Amino acid sequence: AAFLRISGDGKMEADAAQRSRELAAPLPELQTIQKMIDAVGGTLDLSQVLREAARTAVESLDAAATGIFLYDADSDTLVLAEEKGLPVNLKTRFRRFPVKGFHNEQVVRAARVRLHGSPADIPEFVDLRIPQQQPDWGNYLCVPLTAKKQVLGIMGIFSRRPRIFNDRDLTLYRALGEQIGLAISNARAHEVLQLLAITDGLTGVFNRR
């Protein structure tokens, strides 16, 4: 690192050692991604993956609440699998619902991150009186959970006022969505292997093990 000095008086404007430490420190975004990797990468149990993902997604950027929904391609529906901070009426309304006509349908169809300025921008949230019930909620971000170019689910997350999500947050949460999606894929693969270990490959009945 370079020393910056005022010409003629020999006074140092920046301490090189401190500058080196600042440059060596991980960016906050990288630290957040690493937290998510550590949280969801330490287990192959799907329920624990989802629980840790929801907790970390909220705490990493001091968000207000989040819901993680898994995508059922056979029925083309989304199912609430884990949440943190969602009110009961919101969890009940979105426990299971079709993707077709969903206000964030393109998040599932095209794996796009979508940002809404406020819960008041979404008719279903207005019907549930979410803006009145949760006045501290800011804007609403919906992120695809992807693995191997497939959307396995989505994560909806609300900011906490006065903070709002910006372009850097969108990039960060997309990266978090990829980590969560990969962890979900790994957990599901592990479940399949466990099932194969205890059932007969031809008949599907349980073997002696």
Q: pTM score, two decimals? A: 0.78
pLDDT of residue 61: 78
pLDDT at 4: 39
d(CA 54, CA 132): 24
Structure tokens at 24: 């060596």
Q: In 3D, which of 95, 137, 105 has the Cα closest to residue 120?
A: 137
The first and second tokens of residue 53, run together, are: 């993902």
**Tens digit of pLDDT per residue, the chain (209 long)?**
333 334 444 444 444 444 444 444 456 666 777 777 776 667 788 999 999 999 998 988 789 999 999 999 999 999 999 999 999 999 999 999 999 999 999 999 999 999 999 999 999 999 999 999 999 999 999 999 999 989 999 999 999 999 889 888 898 899 899 999 999 999 888 777 776 556 555 566 666 65
Q: State how far the Cα of 15 lies from the Cα of 57, in Å rounded to an integer.
A: 36
